[in-house]
Structure 1
Amino acid sequence: MTHLTSTTADQAGASVGTLIREWRMQRKLSQMELALDIDISPRHLSFVETGRSRPSAELLMNIATQLDVPLRARNTWLLAAGYAPRYSEQGLDTARMAHVRAAVQRLLDTHAPYPGVALDRHWNVVLHNRAAEKLMALLPPELLTPAINIFRASLHPQGFAAYTRNFSEWGSYLLQVLQRLMLNARDQNIITLAAEVHAYPNVIALKQQTPVTQATEPSLLIPCIMELHGHELSLFTTLTTFGSPRDITLHELCVELFYPADTQTEVFLKTMGRA
């Protein structure tokens, strides 16, 4: 069962001990396990979680690293403990991010004639190449504003789902990705998005389906199989993130590149790219 609720620990005013405990429980670690992992006594960790001991900034960062806490949440921890934030957040359209934005756009353009997009933390499209633009032209106006969201565009019955021939497989994969994103980000906007997506009639029907056991050997990847202009296209994707970022925007940015899964798709995309 998919849970679309969130604890209130990430809300403004929560103590740092409460925040740590919520993340530890989400990672399914006991106090003993986490304490051993970061080389402190379980008693010390217990005092930190209950507010009887104020953790140092270094201890907070050690705990956050062990629990794989996102940079945005780490800033929240630091503020809750009375320390200054350590991670900046530059908009992708700011002057300081110009080189990064240009590099990502160059990566996407080089990937043509195959589609490629850059996504923010909510999986909204912030950059794209011309091949992706042609696919996005299939979307109805209500899915284009205020931003194109991959989950909404892919799962909405009037979105790409209308063209997806293996929606049972591809839709299930996207729902799993959304669930992981919701658990890791602990973001109310993502929780709201997930609630919207799970209310789509085709998604409700998908969740009610009984999994079918494949009789043949399973494929190595789950492709997205779409029918466009009488042609069947089969695409698989890769997700790329920045290594060791110290900026929240970069930490949350990812690049999704689509590749042809068969020769027929490769020929079609190359032909469309030359058109």
Structure 2
Amino acid sequence: MKVPPQLLPLLEDGLIDAVVRPLRSGKEAAVFVVRCGEELRCAKVYKDAQQRGFRQAVAYQEGRKARNSRQMRAMEKRSRYGRREAETAWHSAEVDALYRLAAAGVRVPQPYGLFDGVLLMELITDPAGDAAPRLGDLPLTAEEALDCHARLLADVVRMLCAGMVHGDLSEFNVLLTADGPVIIDLPQVVDATANNSARALLERDVSNLGEYLGRFAPQLQGRAYGPEIWQLYAAGTLHPDSVLTGHVEADTTPANVGDVMREIEAARLEAELRQAGREAAAQR
């Protein structure tokens, strides 16, 4: 096969020994199976901003830290330097998240480093040693769906306890192995404390999982796991072993106009994010 130009420097520097085959192409990157010594790994080649179907929406960028004030000003002004720095930050967000989440006990691919816009990481495999399938490509029994949902919900909680929200989680961003699900695709991860969209994104992530797995296990439908997780997080009582019920207590306190307006804005944003997620899924 013709070697993608982005992978040539890695071949020349001996970081990879061969490009085996394409694995899949998504909205923000193309992934290739590569050989490093005797081991097969993944090389994720990020697409140029103009080629990506998934745009760096303000909702995802908010709260991300720049290396210095000059970089932040350039990114805000969208200068040529600023756009280049924004791209670097976009790429770095995923590898940083992978290291942090692995340390928090979340099942994610092991990263091996970011090299000129190419992320080298573990190849997640099935029992036969082939690339593991996406959750959305598999039929499941009710028991399998319930087990998968419980494992993913636990990882969502671990992510939030580590201060992060995936932001684009669905059946297309989960690989299924013999040992359970593995979460992938994290360049859009947001800071739970610094991003005003974190709650809407968290609830959308959890809703996406419930809607898909609820096709196989109807008892998952209509559960309020997302609001429950955020309620515990906001109260400072969420921890990795929190027991979830899928229910939240109704708030009987008098409405505050300011709070109501913020809820309306959050609902509007969530609707926009859902639409963006549907459009992105259609492009896969």
> If the length of structure 2 is used for normalisation, what is the TM-score?
0.28
Greater Rg, structure 1 or structure 2? Answer: 1
**Higher relative contact order by CA 8 Å / sep ≥ 6: 1 or 2?**
1
Q: Which structure is higher in strand share?
A: 2
> If the length of structure 1 is used for normalisation, what is the TM-score?
0.29
Q: Which structure is higher in helix share?
A: 1
